Structure 1
Amino acid sequence: MQLAPVYPILYRILQPTFPYCLWSARVKEPIVALTFDDGPHPQHTPQLLKVLDKYDIPASFFWLGVCVERSPEVAKAVYQRGHWVGLHGYNHQMFTSFTAPILKQNLVKTQLAIAQACKLDLDYVQTHVRDVRPPNGVFTPQILKSLQSWSYRPVMWSVVPEDWLLPGIAVVAQRVLSQVRNGSLIVLHDGMFGGADVAQTTDLIVKNLLQRGFNFVTVEQLWQLSQAV
């Protein structure tokens, strides 16, 4: 069952209800943040990187710890290009299934995988890699409270084209292009589900948004713009 038409409605309901999450940025400038979940993937992510290199634009990646461990060289390639990195949990298990201590361990385990793959000091990663997107976008007020108490920043979305169901490159691109606004935060997937199309889909989306005059920013830049308003 495709829920793509429902996500814009959910965004309008949830964004004001949970203002401490990053959903988008209220800006007048035509800027947008491209984000990718569920990676890194040994085939899909390198293909995506070629597209991002082609247009020389930044993106943000929300990684699964288990995938970082499986493809450390891909993770390192993403990081070395200057793309922003966040956490998506260790194995895509929903955060609502964890107790608070286990959830914290899950995030730390993912940070450890990133530190090892990218050849970074763990203390540095734990200080700087602190954006968290819950798997499936599922959270509770208590989960948000816990994340904030541990100095993590919850990141959500404003444009969700449901690419993981592979409805087709043109369909995903059309959904994004019809919904995007100044300050939008777009979610795509470069993992096992949806990743097969991600490079071509991203190419089509980026080409069209550049023609519209949009500039691309990272999640970190979107946070800064959101807090400046």
Structure 2
Amino acid sequence: MQFAPFFPFIYRILQPSFPDCLWCGDRNSKAIALTFDDGPHPQYTRQVLQVLDRYNITASFFWLGACVNRSPEVAKAVCDRGHWIGLHGYDHRSFPLLTPNELKESLAKTQAAIYDSCNLLPEQVRDVRPPNGLFTPKTLNLFRQWNYRPVMWSVVPEDWVSPGITTVVQRVNQQVQNGSLIVLHDGVCGGQDVAATIEVLIPQLLQQGYQFVTVDNLWRYNQTN
């Protein structure tokens, strides 16, 4: 069973309950964020970069530390292009199942991997998206204590189950609106279609008048309103 049709309803329940998380940007602005989880991948992420380069679009990537260590040259290529970098844990273990020490170590190890490949200091990489979007109030309290910023989503086309390019594009178009925060995947699950998906999706969204910004841009709006 695919859950994509239910994510908009889940979003409407969770978003007002956890206002300290970044769920979206300005609903009065056509600025949206395109984000990618589970990378970097030696093949799929490079393909994504080619499409983003072609359209001169800056996106946001939430990385697994283990993948950064496996593909440091790909990580550097993403960073060198000015894309925004965030954390997704070291190895995609669910955050609520980790002890506080394990969670802290997972994030710190990922920051260290990013520093080694991209020379970004830990304080420059503070945005965190929990794997599978799973968190608890305790998780958020720990983020706050450790000065991390929790980033969620508003458009989830469930591309990681590989429903097909046409289906993913259709789901995004059905859900997208001003300020949307779109989640796609450039890792092992879903990454095989991601470049072809955004090759179709980006021109459609541009034609609708949307402007692509990074997660940091969405935070700036939320912090001033």
For the 8 Å contact 1:27–1:225, the answer to whether it is kept is: no
Residue type of the alignment partner of 2:159 = D
- Distance in 2 (alpha carbons) for counterparts of 1:43 and 1:55: 19
1:63 matched to 2:63: yes
Structure 1 equivalent of residue 152 of structure 2: 156
Instruction: Determine which of 186, 206, 210 is the counterpart of 1:210.
Output: 206
- Distance in 1 (alpha carbons) for counterparts of 2:12 and 2:121: 33
For the 8 Å contact 1:47–1:199, the answer to whether it is kept is: yes
Structure 2 equivalent of residue 117 of structure 1: 117
1:166 matched to 2:169: no
Q: Secondary structure at the match of 2:117?
A: helix
- Distance in 1 (alpha carbons) for counterparts of 2:110 and 2:30: 33
Structure 1 equivalent of residue 194 of structure 2: 198
Structure 1 runs (4+) greater than 2 angstroms displaced: none
**Cα RMSD, aligned residues only:** 0.8
1:142 matched to 2:138: yes
Structure 1 equivalent of residue 220 of structure 2: 224
For the 8 Å contact 1:162–1:172, the answer to whether it is kept is: yes
TM-score (norm 2): 0.98
Residue type of the alignment partner of 1:215 = Q
Structure 2 equivalent of residue 176 of structure 1: 172
- Distance in 1 (alpha carbons) for counterparts of 2:171 and 2:27: 21
Structure 2 equivalent of residue 85 of structure 1: 85
- Distance in 1 (alpha carbons) for counterparts of 2:50 and 2:143: 33
Structure 2 equivalent of residue 131 of structure 1: 127
Give structure 2 stretches of 5+ with no counterpart: none
For the 8 Å contact 2:60–2:215, the answer to whether it is kept is: yes
- Distance in 1 (alpha carbons) for counterparts of 2:122 and 2:147: 10
Residue type of the alignment partner of 2:137 = P
- Distance in 2 (alpha carbons) for counterparts of 1:37 and 1:130: 15
TM-score (norm 1): 0.97
Residue type of the alignment partner of 2:2 = Q
For the 8 Å contact 1:132–1:153, the answer to whether it is kept is: yes
| Deviations 1:32-53 (CA, angstroms, capped at 9, x unpaired) | 1000000000000000000000
Shift of 1:107: 0.3
- Distance in 1 (alpha carbons) for counterparts of 2:127 and 2:37: 12
- Distance in 1 (alpha carbons) for counterparts of 2:51 and 2:149: 28
Q: How many positions carry a matched residue from both structures?
A: 225
Shift of 1:203: 1.4
Q: Secondary structure at the match of 2:20?
A: coil
- Distance in 1 (alpha carbons) for counterparts of 2:28 and 2:98: 39
Shift of 1:156: 0.2
- Distance in 2 (alpha carbons) for counterparts of 1:26 and 1:7: 20
Shift of 1:228: 2.2
- Distance in 1 (alpha carbons) for counterparts of 2:154 and 2:121: 27
Q: Secondary structure at the match of 1:158?
A: coil
For the 8 Å contact 2:25–2:31, the answer to whether it is kept is: no
Shift of 1:26: 3.0
- Greater CA drift, 97-106 or 163-172: 97-106
Shift of 1:128: 1.0
Give structure 1 stretches of 5+ with no counterpart: none
For the 8 Å contact 2:26–2:218, the answer to whether it is kept is: no
